[in-house]
Amino acid sequence: MGTLRDLQFALQLKIEELRQRDALIDELELELDAKDDLIRRLQGELDRLRLTLSAPGTSGSTAVSTSLRTKRQAVVCEPTSVDPKHLLETLPDSHSKSLESQRLIETALLESECVRYMGRGQVQALVDSAYSVTLGQGACLVQEGEEGSQAYVIEEGKMKVSRAGQRLQTVEPGRLLGELALFHSYTRSSTLTALVNCKVWVLEQKDFRTIVQRSSLLRTSHTLDLLRSVPAVSSLPQQQLIHLAHSLRECHYNNSDFIIRPGCAVDSLFIVSRGQVRVTERHSVSEEPVGLSTLSRGDCFGETGLRGDDMRMRSVVAVGNVTCLVIDRESVRKLTGGSEDAAKNTSETNQHKTNRSDEDGTLPCVVTLSDLQVLCELGEGQFSHVKLVHVKGDVRRLYALKMVRKCSLLSSGQQERVLTERQILMEAHSPFIVRLYQTFRDSVCVYVLMEACLGGDLWSLLNRRGVFGDEACRFYAAGVSEALVYLHSHNIVHRDVRPENVLLDQRGYPKLTGFGCAKRLDSLESADSVDSLGSVGRCWSFCGTPGYLAPEVILLKGHGVAVDIWALGVFVYELLAGSSPFLSTDLMSTYSAVLKGIDAVDFPKSIGSTAAGIIKTLCRSDPSERLGSQRNGVKDIQRHQWFEGFDWEGLKQNTLTSPVSPSEISEGDYGKSDSFSEEQTNPASVDGADWDKDFCSSPH
Q: Summarize pLDDT for 180-198 with one digit per residue, the tens.
A: 999 998 899 999 999 999 9
The per-residue DSSP string of 58-122 comes to SSS--S--TTT------EEE--S---HHHHHT--PPP----HHHHHHHHHHHHTSTTGGGS-HHH
Cβ atoms 410, 419 nearer than 8 A:
no
Residue 347 lies in a domain: no
Tell whether the model's pLDDT for residue 402 goes beyond 50: yes
154-163, 265-274, 591-600: which range is least confident on average?
265-274
* Angle 120-121-123 from CA coordinates, rounded to 5°: 65
The overall longest dimension of the chain from CA atoms, in Å, is 113
| Rg of the chain in Å (alpha carbons) | 30
Tell whether the model's pLDDT for residue 69 goes beyond 70: no
At 56, is the pLDDT very low, low, confident or very high (cuts 50, 70, 90)? Answer: very low
Higher-pLDDT residue of 360 and 546 is 546
At 65, is the pLDDT very low, low, confident or very high (cuts 50, 70, 90)? Answer: very low
Tell whether 585 and 657 lie within a shared domain. Answer: yes
Calculate what percentage of the chain has a pLDDT beyond 90.
Answer: 45
Cβ atoms 213, 556 nearer than 8 A:
yes
Number of domains in the chain: 4
Closest among 201, 204, 195 to 170, alpha carbons compared: 195
Name 143's Cβ contacts closer than 8 Å, sequence gap at least 6. 188, 191
Query: What per-residue confidence (pLDDT) applies to 310?
Result: 52
DSSP letter at 658 equals P
Tell whether 314 and 422 lie within a shared domain. Answer: no
Is residue 334 annotated as involved in ligand binding? Answer: no
Mean pLDDT of 96-114: 94
pLDDT digits (tens, 9 = 90+) for 215-268: 888 888 888 888 888 887 888 887 778 878 888 888 899 999 999 988 777 878
Catalytic site positions = 496
CATH number at 440 reads 3.30.200.20
The per-residue DSSP string of 354-366 comes to HHHHT-TT--SS-
What is the rounded CA–CA span in Å between residue 292 and residue 278? Answer: 8
**Amino acid in the structure at residue 315:** S
Q: How would you classify residue 461: left for phi > 0, otherwise alpha for psi between -120 and 50, otherwise beta?
A: alpha
Higher-pLDDT residue of 107 and 383 is 107
pLDDT digits (tens, 9 = 90+) for 608-638: 999 999 999 999 998 988 999 877 788 899 9
Q: How far apart are the first and last CA of the chain?
A: 107
* Angle 325-330-331 from CA coordinates, rounded to 5°: 50
Name 366's Cβ contacts closer than 8 Å, sequence gap at least 6. 438, 698
DSSP letter at 433 equals B
Residue 172 lies in a domain: yes
What is the rounded CA–CA span in Å between residue 293 and residue 278? Answer: 6
Buried b (16+ CB within 10 A) or exposed e, 663-689: eebeeeeeeeeeebeeebbeeeebeee
Residue 576 lies in a domain: yes
DSSP letter at 621 equals S
Residues found in the chain: 700
Query: What per-residue confidence (pLDDT) applies to 411?
Result: 79
Tell whether the model's pLDDT for residue 597 goes beyond 80: yes
At 458, is the pLDDT very low, low, confident or very high (cuts 50, 70, 90)? Answer: very high
What is the rounded CA–CA span in Å between residue 569 and residue 604? Answer: 15
Tell whether 660 and 575 lie within a shared domain. Answer: yes
Cβ atoms 270, 302 nearer than 8 A:
yes
Query: What per-residue confidence (pLDDT) applies to 683?
Result: 42
Higher-pLDDT residue of 33 and 246 is 246
Boundary residue ending a domain (422, 452, 482) = 452
Calculate what percentage of the chain has a pLDDT beyond 70.
Answer: 79
At 304, is the pLDDT very low, low, confident or very high (cuts 50, 70, 90)? Answer: low
Query: What per-residue confidence (pLDDT) applies to 55?
Result: 39
**Amino acid in the structure at residue 386:** V
Boundary residue ending a domain (397, 422, 452) = 452
Closest among 119, 233, 224, 327 to 535, alpha carbons compared: 224
Residue 252 lies in a domain: yes
Higher-pLDDT residue of 208 and 2 is 208
Tell whether 98 and 137 lie within a shared domain. Answer: yes
What is the rounded CA–CA span in Å between residue 243 and residue 626? Answer: 14
* Angle 223-227-233 from CA coordinates, rounded to 5°: 150
Mean pLDDT of 425-437: 94
Tell whether 440 and 293 lie within a shared domain. Answer: no
Cβ atoms 376, 670 nearer than 8 A:
yes
Tell whether 591 and 604 lie within a shared domain. Answer: yes
Tell whether 437 and 570 lie within a shared domain. Answer: no
Tell whether the model's pLDDT for residue 347 goes beyond 70: no
Q: Which of 58-62, 491-495, 517-521 has the highest mean pLDDT?
A: 491-495
Tell whether 470 and 600 lie within a shared domain. Answer: yes
Tell whether the model's pLDDT for residue 599 goes beyond 50: yes
CATH number at 193 reads 2.60.120.10
Name 633's Cβ contacts closer than 8 Å, sequence gap at least 6. 341, 345, 485, 488, 489, 561
Tell whether the model's pLDDT for residue 565 goes beyond 80: yes
The per-residue DSSP string of 166-226 comes to EEEEEE-TT-EE-THHHHS-EE--SEEEESS-EEEEEEEHHHHHHHHHHHHHHHHHHHHHH
Residue 684 lies in a domain: no
Query: What per-residue confidence (pLDDT) applies to 378?
Result: 85
* Angle 415-416-417 from CA coordinates, rounded to 5°: 90
Rounded to the nearest angstrom, the gap between the alpha carbon of residue 458 and the centroid of all alpha carbons in its chain is 20
Tell whether 156 and 197 lie within a shared domain. Answer: yes
Burial bucket for residue 158 (CB in 10 Å: 0-12, 13-18, 19+):
middle
What is the rounded CA–CA span in Å between residue 474 and residue 468? Answer: 9
Boundary residue ending a domain (145, 179, 210) = 210
Tell whether 461 and 610 lie within a shared domain. Answer: yes
Query: What per-residue confidence (pLDDT) applies to 591?
Result: 95
Query: What per-residue confidence (pLDDT) applies to 525?
Result: 45
Closest among 324, 342, 345, 327 to 625, alpha carbons compared: 327
DSSP letter at 604 equals P
pLDDT digits (tens, 9 = 90+) for 152-174: 999 999 999 999 888 889 999 99
Tell whether 142 and 274 lie within a shared domain. Answer: no
Q: Is 381 helix (H, G, I), strand (E, B) or coil?
A: coil
Q: List the domain range (segments joined by +) for residue 437.
A: 369-452
Higher-pLDDT residue of 288 and 536 is 288
Q: What is the dihedral of CA 367, 373, 378, 381, to 10 degrees?
A: 60
Query: What per-residue confidence (pLDDT) applies to 243?
Result: 78
Mean pLDDT of 101-121: 91
Whether this model's pTM surpasses 0.85 = no
Residue 53 lies in a domain: no
Tell whether the model's pLDDT for residue 580 goes beyond 70: yes
Mean pLDDT of 672-695: 55
CA distances from 644 to 451, 478, 486, 565, 647 (A): 32, 12, 22, 19, 9
* Angle 91-94-98 from CA coordinates, rounded to 5°: 150
Query: What per-residue confidence (pLDDT) applies to 249?
Result: 84
Cβ atoms 518, 427 nearer than 8 A:
no
Is residue 402 annotated as involved in ligand binding? Answer: yes
What is the rounded CA–CA span in Å between residue 679 and residue 442? Answer: 11
Residue 548 lies in a domain: yes
Tell whether 426 and 500 lie within a shared domain. Answer: no
Tell whether the model's pLDDT for residue 686 goes beyond 80: no
At 27, is the pLDDT very low, low, confident or very high (cuts 50, 70, 90)? Answer: confident
State whether the Cα torsion 205-76-466-569 is positive or negative: negative
Residue 52 lies in a domain: no
pLDDT digits (tens, 9 = 90+) for 136-148: 999 999 999 998 8
